[in-house]
Amino acid sequence: MALKVSAGAVASEAIEQSIQAAHTSICRHAFVRHFDDMARATARAVDMQREAGAPVPPLAGLAVSIKDLFDIAGVPTTAGSKSMADATPALVDCPAVARLRAAGAALIGHTNLTEFAFSGVGINPHHGTPLNPATAALDSTPRIPGGSTSGGAVSVAGGAAWAALGSDTRGSIRVPAALHGLVGFKNSQALTPTEGCIPLSFTLDTTSAITRSVRDAVLMHELLAARQVHLRRRPMRALRLALPLGGMLDGLDATVGRAFERTLQALRKAGVDVVELQLPSDHDPALNSGLISAAEAWAWHRGRIDARQADYDPRVLRRIRGGSDILAADYLDRLQARRRWIAQIDALALGIDAFICPTVPVVAPTLQPLLDDDDAFFATNALLLRNPSVVNHLDGCALSLPCHAPGELPVGLMVWAGAMRDDTVLDVSLAIEHTIAQAGR
């Protein structure tokens, strides 16, 4: 039965549309559980405030999906895993969800993900793998959503959510955002709370969001971080951006290469000073962040694996078990090496507003070969995480925004910098987003 709404029920009408979208084939497998009644109740409350002439909260009943890692009062949190079927309902909202709810977000559902957030591909054998709706209109071959925030990206691209709350450990926000032509902002880890979220790596996990625009990314960050973003809005000719020479620009496929080069030309034409910087080559941040996350994941999962091993995705189990062989001395060495590498990059970046590079070097790969072949899956996973994981290892911040032309498969441009440079990254990203839009007219 359709919900009856009053003439001023703006939020309620919008939520009904979101709920309908969440239950369509476009969002198939995007949600682990739906919160239809909860979302309707929030929207009705916002409409009543509006009709009474009372102030409405910042999100005013907008639909927000929540990755199935974050606690929501009254429902279980299961990390997209069959092994968590025994999870009991959360007693309270985790801090990130509480902040969104206080801002008037209508929680639309818990979204699917790579089990325990441990892959950039987005495949989930327990709940099904959501297909990438952003590529479907251009290519009938089913393509991956990217991960680990797969369902979150599909919920936004499929029209079910205005924004998606997720986590980013080695690229789990930015990879699916890039593959869907969405905006994914990974803030500095310290700025947003991770309490009440099932961890992958306490050193690298970051609470972040996927949106449709940089403007919305700014708002979501302000709410999640409980802070105001200060935008300088400098002209393009005042910006100095760096190309990180080395592995981050290697192996671009034809579509990504064209889109990235076209973007560089547009930025230079707008007056941006684009310089080339060679990153330190004696330390592989992607490899080392993988070791850190594997060691920390094993520490969390080892007791559960003893009891529930058969209920894990075999590919995720393989990666978690890899952490069992890491010596404490090697783990500590990597943490020390990380500190040294951060200092090197901070020194190299003096006088630079931000780095820019493709978020991932390829467009969304086709799904079936990755279901069929473990070697192809793990090679693709490493490729997708290669560039984004550099920023997590840097303890930095980064934003992926679309830079492809109409008719092309989605391509993401990553704007990134060191820790606590979030406002600069958001400011630069707003300017780049505007420049790309102007160049495409």
- The domain segmentation of the chain, as residue ranges, is 10-225, 236-281+350-439
Q: Average pLDDT in the 206-229 region?
A: 98
Q: Residue 317, Cα to own-chain centre: how many angstroms?
A: 22
pLDDT of residue 1 exceeding 60: no
**286: number of Cβ within 10 Å:** 20
Q: What is the pLDDT of residues 68-104, one digit of tens each?
A: 999 999 999 999 999 999 999 999 999 999 999 999 9
- Measured CA to CA, the distance from residue 82 to residue 202 in angstroms comes to 23
- Are 419 and 408 a contacting pair, CB within 8 Å? no
Contact 67, 209 (CB under 8 A): no
**How buried is 154 (Cβ within 10 angstroms: 0-12 exposed, 13-18 middle, 19+ buried)?**
buried
- Residue pair 57/104 in contact (Cβ under 8 Å)? The answer is yes
Domain 10-225: assigned CATH number = 3.90.1300.10
With a cut of 70, say whether residue 4 has pLDDT above it.
no
pLDDT per residue as tens digits for the range 111-137: 999 999 999 999 999 999 999 999 998
The pLDDT confidence band at residue 280, using thresholds 50, 70 and 90, is: confident
The DSSP letter of residue 364 is: P
Q: Pick the closest to residue 273 from 301, 252, 243 (CA basis).
A: 243
- List CB contacts of 366: < 8 A, sequence separation 6 or more: 141, 142, 143, 144
Determine the pLDDT at residue 284.
72
The continuous run of DSSP H or E covering 166 comes out as strand 163-167
Alpha-carbon distance 161 to 65, whole Å?
A: 6
**pLDDT for residue 282:** 57
Q: What pLDDT is recorded for position 8? A: 60
Distances (CA, A) of 22 to 31, 76, 187: 8, 20, 27
Q: How large a percentage of the chain has pLDDT more than 70? A: 97
Q: Taking 80 as the threshold, does the pLDDT of residue 288 lie above it?
A: no
For the residues 32-42, what does the mean pLDDT come to? 98
pLDDT above 80 for 283: no
- The pTM assigned to this predicted structure is 0.96
Q: How many CA atoms lie within 13 A of 146 on its CB side?
A: 39
Kindly write down the DSSP assignment for every residue of 1-39, as one continuous string: -PPP--TT-HHHHHHHHHHHHHTSGGGTTTEEEE-HHHH
Statement: residue 409 has pLDDT above 90: yes
Q: Please tell me the number of Cα atoms within 13 Å of 314 on its side-chain side.
A: 4
CA distances from 307 to 84, 104, 113, 301, 302 (A): 11, 40, 22, 10, 9
What is the rounded CA–CA span in Å between residue 63 and residue 66?
Answer: 10
Q: Which residues pair with 134 in a beta bridge?
A: none
Instruction: Say if residue 441's pLDDT is above 60.
Output: no
Least confident of 167-181, 199-213, 280-294, 418-432: 280-294
Tens digit of pLDDT for each residue in 220-265? 999 999 999 999 999 999 999 999 998 999 999 999 999 999 999 9
What's the confidence (pLDDT) of residue 6? 45
Q: Which helix (H) or strand (E) holds 347?
A: helix 328-348
Mind listing the pLDDT tens digit for each residue in 336-384?
999 999 999 999 999 999 999 999 999 999 999 999 999 999 999 999 9
> In whole angstroms, what is the distance from residue 429 CA to residue 415 CA?
7
**Per-residue pLDDT averaged across 275-295, rounded?**
83
User: Is the separation of the CB atoms in 59 and 100 below 8 Å?
Assistant: yes
Q: Which of 331, 340, 56 is nearest to 201 (CA)?
A: 331
In three-state secondary structure terms, 218 is helix
Percent above pLDDT 90 for the chain: 94
